[in-house]
Amino acid sequence: MMRVNIKNLALSLVLILSLTLGSGCALLPDVEIPPPPSPPPTPGSTTPINPNWTPEVTQGEISELPNIADVVAKVKPSVAAINVEVITYDIFNRPLTQEGAGSGWVIDSNGIIVTNNHVVEGAKTITITFANGETFTAEIIKTDPLTDLAVVKVNAQNLRPLNIGDSSKLRVGEWVVAIGNPLGLGISAKEGIVSRKEVSITVSSGQRLYDLIETSAAINPGNSGGPLLNMAGEVIGITSAKLSAIGIEGMGYAISSNTALPIIKELIQKGYVIRPWLGVGLQSVNQWIAQRYGLALDTGVLITQVAPDSPAAKAGFKEGDIIVSLDEKEMITAQDLIRAIHSSQIGQKLKITFWRQEAKMTTEATLIESPPP
């Protein structure tokens, strides 16, 4: 499950998403809800792929196949190896081309492929290769870094989309199959079971992922973005992360299909994901942060940025304020606050308690629709 922005290609075998005790790469930037980016957006970057898109094959009752070989035979033509190139710079600011690998799967017969954001993030070129040798170049890329999901569009027709299963029906102990492009060596399959459901993990960047399926199926660099399948050959998860540490085996994670599908729909239909937005950069406060910045508290959520004309700006927030509760619910970490905001509604008014130096204050902010990326 290799990231695109690889710094040391020689370490590719250990460049996987991981919990903080595992070696690996960061999935997302620092925990925060950023204001709109300062560079101007790429023209057409928010143009939808298909505003009227619906899955061609959706959740439904499909009979289980007799064995794992039948599952692999059914879905393999719809799974793709993704190879990417990204430009990096050495210490002398000379451009270098780095390579990375990941996986994807067909969700629409007209060339729409699902993968992970970290597979295609920052890529100069993205090449999609199917098991029959057909190769395409990605023409459109839509990503959602917050959930580590992405869709890419290639100029292809008559592809075979995979069926999407209902991940809520999974049972612990049920057989699953992970198919992808491990180590960039081509499409292969690994079997395992569902070990846990509704798992939350923190990857090495501090970003927290929710509603994951834990599986014992072997997950390796290059597997990112590939499908996790039930015995009916339905996609019930998207392989995304692995716990990597000495003495730990068989702890891979996939984004559940029920969590992923609404995000995928928005990326295809709108070009980006719309969420409630407060307009602040955030950092969890701990003893180290409190000492470094001379804060009055050693817990809560530090505001590091306030976007102009955002709900936060209109509510009077300033950089250095520390949010401690949202609608009377205690906020201990930035992830607590991010999740609470995203669980709210656009247009909802929230009561926010915060500290400004030695003074405890309360204000209200009305969430708005997140701006286009």
Q: Give pLDDT tens digits along the chain (373 positions).
A: 444 333 332 222 233 433 333 333 333 334 444 444 433 334 455 688 888 788 876 555 677 888 899 999 999 999 999 999 888 888 888 888 888 889 999 999 999 999 999 899 888 889 999 999 999 999 889 999 888 999 999 999 999 999 999 999 999 999 999 999 888 788 889 999 999 898 887 765 566 778 899 999 888 888 889 999 999 999 999 998 765 555 566 678 999 999 999 999 999 999 999 999 999 998 888 888 888 878 878 889 999 999 999 999 999 999 999 999 999 999 998 888 998 998 899 999 999 999 998 889 999 999 999 888 7
For 267, phi and psi rounded to 5 degrees? -60, -40
For the stretch 225-250, pLDDT in tens is 999 999 999 999 999 876 555 556 66
Contact 213, 197 (CB under 8 A): yes
> pLDDT at position 297, please?
82
Kindly give the residue spans of alpha helices, DSSP state H, lying in 79-142. Answer: 117-120
> pLDDT at position 307, please?
93
What pTM, to 2 d.p., does this model score? 0.77
Contact 179, 189 (CB under 8 A): yes
Q: Is the dihedral of CA 265, 268, 269, 275 positive or negative?
A: positive
For 104, phi and psi rounded to 5 degrees? -160, 175
What distance in Å separates the CA atoms of residue 148 and residue 121, rounded to the nearest whole number?
10
> pLDDT at position 25, please?
34
CATH class of 276-369: mainly beta
Contact 127, 136 (CB under 8 A): yes
By annotation, the residues acting in catalysis are 118, 148, 224
> pLDDT at position 50, please?
86
Nearest residue to 231 via CA among 321, 292, 163: 163
What distance in Å separates the CA atoms of residue 97 and residue 86, rounded to the nearest whole number?
6
What distance in Å separates the CA atoms of residue 316 and residue 361, rounded to the nearest whole number?
11
What distance in Å separates the CA atoms of residue 103 and residue 82, rounded to the nearest whole number?
5
Nearest residue to 193 via CA among 254, 260, 104: 254
DSSP 78: G
What distance in Å separates the CA atoms of residue 79 and residue 94, rounded to the nearest whole number?
36
What distance in Å separates the CA atoms of residue 135 and residue 148, rounded to the nearest whole number?
24
Sorted by where each begins, the domain ranges of the chain are 1-22+44-273, 276-369
**Which residues of 164-314 form beta strands (DSSP E)?**
175-180, 188-202, 208-215, 227-229, 235-242, 252-256, 276-277, 280-284, 301-306
Assign 363 to helix, strand or coil: strand
**Structure tokens, 83:** 């190879």
Is the CATH number of domain 1-22+44-273 2.40.10.120? yes
> pLDDT at position 122, please?
84
For 159-189, the DSSP string reads --PPPB--GGG--TT-EEEEEE-GGGS--EE
> pLDDT at position 276, please?
94
